[in-house]
Structures are given as C-alpha cells and as structure tokens.
Structure 1
Amino acid sequence: MNWFKSLLAAAAIQALAILPGHAGSNLDEIKSAGVLRIGTEGTYAPFTYHDQSGALVGFDVEIGREVAKRLGVKAEFLEGKWDGLIAGLDANRYDTVINQVGITEARKQKYDFSEPYIASKAVLIVRGDNDAIKDFADLKGKKSAQSLSSNFGKIAEASGAELVGTDGFDQSIQLVLNGRADATINDSLSFYDFKKQKPDADVKIAAQQENADYSGIIIRKGEPELLAAINEALKAIKDDGTYQKIADKYFGQDVSK
C-alpha cells in the first residue's frame, strides 16, 4: 500500500503545482522574473487609458509602476475587459489587478486586498453661485440630474429631490451648469477629474457623505509575502510624496481618504 500512498501524494503535489495561486505568483518568483504582471482595462480614464500617442497612462497605471519599482521589478500591464479582469487572477494571467477594484466583503471572501489606495465619496454638486443648497436635505423639492439606476440617484430621491434622468456624469454636470437642474449627486473622483480638466467650470461641491468607498490592489489569496510587499510599497509611495504628486496630476488633490 506504500506505493499507492506515494502515488496519491505525488498526485496531490502535482495538483497544487497547477493551481493558479501556486503558478508564478509569489513574491520570490516575481522578483526572479523581474516583472510584476498587472491586469488593467486601459479604457477607464483617468485611471487607466491610452493618451493621444497611444501610451498607457492614468492614476492606477502610475501607482502600479511605482509599486513595481519598489518591489525591484518592472510593471507589465496586461489589458482586458472589466467583466473578466478579476477572473484573470484565477487563470494566472497576471499577479495582481490595479483598476479601481472596490474593496467589498464578497470579494474579500475569495481574494486579498492591499490597504486602500484611493477613496471615493458621494458628493452634492451645484453651480458656483448656488447658496441655497448646502446639504443633502436641501435637495427636497429641487431638481437633481441623475442616472436613474445609480446609487447616487437613489440618494437624491431619498433626499426628496425630483430626478432629471441623464446618461451619466458629463450630462448631469451640463444640466447643472445650464440651470436645467439644481444639483447632481455624483462620485467625488469624477468631479475632481472634471475640475482638473475644466478648472473654470462654475460648479462646486456643496456637501459630501462621510462614508467612503475604497479601492485596493487585489491579489489571489495565499500570498502573504506579496501582500505585505505591496502594502510596504504603498506606504513608501505615500511617505516620500510620490502619491501626492500622482494625485495632484490627475485630480488636483489628495484622494487617499
């Protein structure tokens, strides 16, 4: 029976070897290869997109490059559609995904996340000359431009606003600017990006929700050394001012909390 037990043991070892979490994804193997493989969309400005020259750029792209640099390797970005991006970790197409992946309890059941590296809050946006709306409660009886199926639309509705349906952030902002809506509740990161691109646009944040949604760098479970190294890299990026420079470039301010 010893030969049978040995055969079973060998089969178990072989099975472990081909599992995604054991295939070229731990820290030693990444350093040996000299490359951190990063899954990203490449179509999601200002986080990960292609500029006019065709180069891959964006907030998440620069964060990924800095993390790889501090691991002592180069960043290799592998682009894919959002629907299959996280599943690509399971298939071992890359070592991590850096693409505004929200940290949720459901995802944490299957994957590990770094410490949060960016925060998003629901903000109440009005025209610069609007002093009547100062808080979410002031939306009662007012028109709020919203994507009707979004969580932001539900917040506006709960605040007593009359919803004006839109296709998304850009249209909502335009309705506020031209006076066809009194306000819009939207994502803080989208607003900061908009103001960075159009600093003279006459809109402002009147209020924001305290609770934030956070995104992290996601990896497979069972890679504690890699997770610790990524967290150390993120801390170093923040401590030496690199994070702030990247945030200023894309958003004009700190977006870590």
Structure 2
Amino acid sequence: MKRRTFISLMSVMAAAGVLTLAGCSNSSGSTAASGTAASVAPSAGDQLSNIQSSGKLIVALEGAWQPWSFHDESDTLVGYDVEVSRAIAEKLGVEPEYMESDWDSLFAGLDAGRYDIVCNGVEVTDERAKTYDFTEPYGYIHTALAVRKDNEDITSFEDLKGKTTANSLASTYMELAESYGATVQGIDTLEETIQLLTAGRIDATLNADVSFYDYLNVHPDADFKLVAQTEDASHVAIPLRKGDASAPLLEAINTAIEELRADGTLKELGEKYFGQDISAEN
C-alpha cells in the first residue's frame, strides 16, 4: 500500500514508564519518527512557550486514513488533518513536525509527552474528556454503517447484534459496534477493513461518513453500501494533556481554529478533501 513505519504500542508505553491502554493506521514520510520528538516531555512549564521556543509543534496522526492523513503517489504526507494542523502551527508561529502511529498508540504517546497534540479526526466523547482537554471542534461528522451490496440482513445499527465487524481498536467505531452487540475484529486501516467486508469475512464496518464517501469517489465500483448513520453529528477536535501547563496552548489553538473557520480555510480544506464543508454543524 504505502511505505509505513509503525510505532508499537508497547514501545510507546515503555517510553512512558507505564502500561497504559488508551485511545484510529500509520506511515512515516515527511519527518523523522524519533529524535526531536523524543525530547518532548511533559513539563511543569508553559507548553505553548516551550513549543514557540523550540519552533516546532509535534503533531501525531495515523498517516494511513484517507482523506484525513495519508501518503499520496509521491509518498508525501497529505490530508485534511495534515493541512489543518499545518495552518494551526503557522498561526502559532512554528513549524509542524509529524509523528505517525497506529490509532491505539496515539493517546499513549500523548500521555508520555512524545507529542504536543493529536490531530487525527478524534471524536470528543465523555470518556475521553475525563483524561484530555479538547479544543473547539474543527470538524463535524456522522458515523456510517457499511455492508456488502448484497447484504439485506443489516439495515440499521440494531441489526449488528451477533454480527462481526472490523474497526480500529479502542476507536469510537469499535465502541459503537460493541454497544449494539457486535463482535469487533481489530484492524488498522479503512482500506483493510473494506477488503475484509467485500470479501465477506466480516458482516459490516463503521467509519466516518465522509471517509466512506471519499473511498467511493476513488473506488466507485466498490462492493459495499451505506445503510445507516448516526443522527447527531460527532465533534472532531484536538486532544491535549490536561493541566495548567497546557492551558495557554489550548487557548491559542482555539483562537487559531476560530480564525481558520472565519477566513474560510476550514471550509476550503473540507471541500478539497471531503467534497463538502465539515467545519459547521448541520
């Protein structure tokens, strides 16, 4: 698929000095996955000042979740989250440096201080809000349910009881499927999940509606259909470590997001990568 370098969950936890399970795939391209980022650690100081002093904002994302973050044909890291975080970094007066990891390692790396922020289509949930401070939303999405085109048994989330799905471990999609009684197989990427679905090895899968739309735009003959979606939109925001040290950074990123919304940048990026503006709640 794409050249990828995975940061294992165990190595991240070892760096943190604890065995913690937290936290959607992965690739290494535009920046080094060690070195500079390894020097980033939780500090009692002002995190924003530290970032501005270093001149770099360490951003964690998957790098293999199109169109949020992925590698194009030239192996350049691109995507909605890449451009949003780059615009935010510019507002802060620094350069972004990207660290790529699989979904279930992103939060552990944030906890360990390996990253300043996670910009990876993260949905705000009550459970996550207990551990992290979230910025203002920079996107609004719905979770959609996909099945093979010939599947007539699953037409709603309620029909997932006793069925098999595949999603990233610890993702909101996995949690939602399990809440309806599905058995979930852990898979790293949307591409792999759809391959399992169309091959008939799983019954269904869940993901952001806009991610499915993008996939179907690229693969119009793909053998799956969307049969349901959540009624309420999920808020996509950036999680930061809780604490007074992160407060100035949280405020600065919130200001940047509002400016990017007001000047039309978020609308333009949404239309570029999703074919629609996702910066406003519908």
TM-score range relative to shorter protein = 0.5 to 0.7
Superposed CA offset, 1:98-123 (max 9, x none)? 12222222222222111122233134
Q: Which residue of 2 aligns with 1:20?
A: 42
Q: CA RMSD in A?
A: 4.1
Q: Which residue of 1 aligns with 2:257?
A: 234
TM-score by length of 1: 0.67
Give 1:87-106 correspondences, 5 Å limit: 87-106=108-127
Report how far residue 78 of structure 1 moved. Answer: 1.9
Structure 1 CA distance, aligned partners of 2:219 and 2:41?
48
Work out which of the two has the higher radius of gyration on C-alpha atoms and give 1 or 2. 1
Compared CA separation, residues 218 and 124, structure 1 to 2 (3 A): closer
Q: Secondary structure at the match of 1:20?
A: coil
Point out where structure 2 has 5 or more consecutive residues left out of the alignment: 1-39, 150-154
Q: Secondary structure at the match of 1:191?
A: helix
For the Cα contact (< 8 Å) 2:166–2:205, is it kept in 1?
A: no
> Structure 1 residue aligned with 2:68, among 35, 42, 47?
47
Give 1:128-139 correspondences, 5 Å limit: 136=156
Q: Which residue of 2 aligns with 1:14?
A: none
Structure 1 CA distance, aligned partners of 2:195 and 2:252?
41
Q: Secondary structure at the match of 1:22?
A: coil
Structure 1 CA distance, aligned partners of 2:93 and 2:139?
23
For residue 238 of structure 1, what is the amino acid of its counterpart?
Answer: R
Report how far residue 172 of structure 1 moved. Answer: 8.2
Is 2:142 aligned against 1:118? no
Superposed CA offset, 1:189-244 (max 9, x none)? 22221233246879876764322222211111122211011011111111111111
Structure 1 CA distance, aligned partners of 2:61 and 2:147?
33
> Structure 2 residue aligned with 1:72, among 85, 90, 93?
93
For the Cα contact (< 8 Å) 1:146–1:172, is it kept in 2?
A: no
Superposed CA offset, 1:4-59 (max 9, x none)? xxxxxxxxxxxxxx971426x62122222221111222232221222222211111
Compared CA separation, residues 195 and 80, structure 1 to 2 (3 A): closer
Q: Which residue of 1 aligns with 2:11?
A: none
Q: Secondary structure at the match of 2:74?
A: coil
> Structure 1 residue aligned with 2:107, among 86, 94, 111?
86
Give 1:136-155 correspondences, 5 Å limit: 136=156, 147=166
Compared CA separation, residues 53 and 109, structure 1 to 2 (3 A): same
Structure 1 CA distance, aligned partners of 2:73 and 2:175?
33
Structure 2 CA distance, aligned partners of 1:81 and 1:184?
21
For residue 170 of structure 1, what is the amino acid of its counterpart?
Answer: I
Q: Which residue of 1 aligns with 2:273?
A: 250
Q: Which residue of 2 aligns with 1:192?
A: 213
Larger mean CA deviation between 97-106 and 217-226 belongs to 97-106
For residue 240 of structure 2, what is the amino acid of its counterpart?
Answer: I
Q: Which has the higher helix share?
A: 1
For residue 112 of structure 2, what is the amino acid of its counterpart?
Answer: A
Structure 1 CA distance, aligned partners of 2:165 and 2:215?
16
Superposed CA offset, 1:70-129 (max 9, x none)? 11211111223333322222322221111222222222222211112223313466999x
Structure 2 CA distance, aligned partners of 1:83 and 1:205?
26
Compared CA separation, residues 84 and 192, structure 1 to 2 (3 A): same
Q: Secondary structure at the match of 2:240?
A: strand
- Equivalent pairs counted in the alignment come to 227
State, as a whole percentage, how many aligned pairs show the same letter.
Answer: 39
For residue 194 of structure 2, what is the amino acid of its counterpart?
Answer: D
